[in-house]
Amino acid sequence: MPLQTAYNPAEDISNLNGKVIVITGGTTGLGAQTIRTLAQHRPSQIFFTGRNVSASESVIQAGKAISPTTTFTFIPCDQNSLSSIQTAARLITSKTPNLDILICNAGIMASPPGLTADGYEVQFGINFLAHALWIKLLLPSLERSSTTTSSSSPSSNEPSDPRIILLTSTSFQIAPAAGIIFSDLQTPQENIGFQAKFTRYGQSKLALVLYAKALAKRYERVTTVAVHPGVINTGIITEQPFWAWLWLRLFINLGLLGAELSLEEGAYTTCWAATSPRSKDLVSGGLYEPVGKPIADTKQSGDELLQERLWEWTQAQLEAYT
């Protein structure tokens, strides 16, 4: 069933002329679709990351066909490694002084127990900590945009309204009872819950919700929003091992995870959050689902002490990366 919404990206996204956008995980799925949707509004530059070089070429071709005036640049990066992000972020800042929109989209779901190259629980490392580093390294470029006109087109006279969008999931509601198990984050967390691989996913997605709030408090000139895009049949579902896929499909078909959206609809909430004017309906630190509906906090996502603890823990982990 099509999504019931008045949102129409063709009309509701303003002209993005002059805007510079970075999107992590843009090679396929929702990231690639978000690039195609935003490209229709002619931003100046879209940088996108991922590991799959051949898929990146198709994304660039499709983007160019939509917006020949936009520069599309693939930045290879593996979120499994913090130094890979540091290299990628340096490459981006060497190419553009300012940045208008950072979309933290890359993600994995329900992967087997494991550690990142830096020794963190793999879903927490790729989904959350990697994005915290992207944000740390690109925040100066976003803040610079907030004091100038649109980044690459100062002549437009439009004040820039920089954004950070964090792709979370309603799975943040299945995080462990304590929210984030800090003492174990440098272990594979094999026994974190009944369906441990989904609990670990929930924990990583809870961290993104908490971090959006923590950023909103500290960086008032940048609008930071967490979004659940809906349920969409992308690689994150289709590439699950057979039994996990079967259970997910059963839950989706029974409507237990919410309505299933098309790929185009799956990009709506991200595009809405990235481009709609800041208002009472779009507040920094907010958490939204399709399209622009606020999601109520759980005990864990509304826990300010947990939010502060995550902030402090994260700054300590990333201290060496500048």
Q: 149 near 100, Cβ under 8 Å?
A: no
Is 290 a binding residue for ligand NAP by CB under 6 A? The answer is no
In the chain, alpha helices (H): 9-12, 29-39, 53-66, 82-95, 122-123, 130-146, 196-218, 235-238, 242-253, 263-266, 268-275, 304-318
The pattern of x and - marking residues 41 through 80 that bind ligand NAP according to CB under 6 A reads ---------xxx--x---------------------xxxx
Query: Interacting stretch for ligand NAP, rule CB under 6 A, among 147-155, 173-181, 229-237, 294-302?
Result: 229-237
Q: How far is the CB of 291 from ligand NAP (least distance, A)?
A: 14
- CB neighbour list of residue 189: distance below 8 Å, 6 or more residues apart: 113, 121, 181, 196, 200, 203
> How many positions of this chain bind ligand NAP (CB under 6 A)?
30
Could you say which residues in the range 80-99 bind ligand NAP, by CB under 6 A? 80
The pattern of x and - marking residues 108 through 147 that bind ligand NAP according to CB under 6 A reads xx----------------x---------------------
- CB neighbour list of residue 298: distance below 8 Å, 6 or more residues apart: 172, 173, 175
Decide if 211 is catalytic.
no
User: Which C-beta is closer to ligand NAP: that of 13 or that of 108?
Assistant: 108
Could you say which residues in the range 200-219 bind ligand NAP, by CB under 6 A? none
* Tokens 């999107």 found at: 23
Query: How far is Cα 236 from Cα 93, in angstroms, rounded to an integer?
Result: 30
* Tokens 């709030």 found at: 213
Give residues in contact with ligand NAP (CB under 6 A): 25-31, 50-52, 55, 77-80, 105-109, 126, 167, 169, 228-229, 231-232, 234-236
Q: Could you list the active site residues?
A: 201
